């Protein structure tokens, strides 16, 4: 048997409270939007932009922080730390841009993992093969964006990962503790 509705139990809609109360209507119209500003998005596309656009890479480096470069390869005994600032950073940026573009080819073959949580936001490329290199791209977040803080190259499958991890953590702390001089 079909259902037949003979009357409506719905009442007419009430006007909004602010229309009924002109004394507060101006406050609703003048109120700023609720909640904090939407945070910038962090994912692989963040790093991809830096790898294909030299200007984006240049803009992603905070001149007050500079850029920390750390290399650690146990097999070759190579340990290097640089904190690039000012003219040295500007001179090396084209080379770093080419290096990121070349790294991007590896990201297509192996997985590049990017995450903003837990801090610091970073992308990690680790093919996991002994005597190969992996790379961490470490970012810091300022009020409106993510800035590239460090590029860390390390040996994957290293025999002594504790030594490698200590060296990297120590040099990252040293780089973070220092600021670039104003030019």
Per-residue pLDDT band for 141 (boundaries 50, 70, 90) equals confident
Structure tokens at 14: 């009430």
Give the rounded percent of residues in the chain with a pLDDT score beyond 90.
40
Residue 133 lies in a domain: yes
Residue-wise pLDDT tens digits, 96-140: 999 999 988 888 777 888 888 888 899 998 877 655 788 999 999
Query: pTM for the complete prediction?
Result: 0.74
Residue 16 lies in a domain: no
Mark out the alpha helices in the chain (DSSP H runs).
17-20, 22-30, 44-52, 54-59, 86-109, 161-177
Residue 116 lies in a domain: yes
CATH of the domain at 119: 3.10.450
Picking from 147, 136, 131, the residue whose alpha carbon sits closest to that of residue 112 is 136
Query: What is the strand order of the sheet 122-125 is part of?
Result: 78-84, 67-73, 146-156, 132-141, 122-125, 112-115
Residue 171 lies in a domain: yes
Residue 155 lies in a domain: yes
pLDDT at 61 over 70: yes
Residue 119 lies in a domain: yes
pLDDT for res 9: 38
Give residue 142's domain range.
Answer: 44-176
Residue-wise pLDDT tens digits, 13-54: 444 444 444 444 444 444 444 445 555 677 888 888 999 999
Separation of CA 73 from chain center: 25
- Specify the number of domains making up the chain: 1
Distance from C-alpha of 135 to C-alpha of 69, rounded to nearest angstrom: 11
pLDDT at 93 over 50: yes
Residue 7 lies in a domain: no
């Amino acid at each position: 048997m079909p259902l037949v509705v003979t009357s409506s139990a719905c009442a007419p809609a009430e006007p909004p409270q602010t229309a009924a109360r002109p004394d507060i209507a101006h406050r609703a119209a003048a109120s700023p939007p609720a909640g904090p500003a939407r945070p910038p998005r962090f994912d692989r596309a963040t790093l991809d932009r830096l790898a294909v656009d030299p200007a984006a890479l240049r803009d992603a480096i905070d001149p007050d922080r500079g850029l920390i470069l750390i290399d650690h390869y146990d097999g070759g005994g190579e340990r290097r730390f640089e904190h690039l600032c000012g003219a040295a950073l500007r001179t090396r940026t084209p080379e770093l841009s080419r290096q990121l573009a070349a790294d991007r080819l590896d990201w297509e073959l192996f997985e590049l993992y990017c995450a903003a949580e837990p801090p610091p936001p970073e992308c990690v490329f680790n093919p996991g093969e002994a005597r190969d290199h992996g790379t961490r791209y470490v970012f810091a977040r300022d009020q409106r964006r993510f800035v590239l803080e460090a590029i860390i190259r390390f040996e994957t499958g290293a025999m002594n990962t504790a030594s490698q991890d200590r060296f990297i953590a120590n040099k990252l702390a040293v780089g973070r503790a220092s600021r670039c001089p104003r030019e």
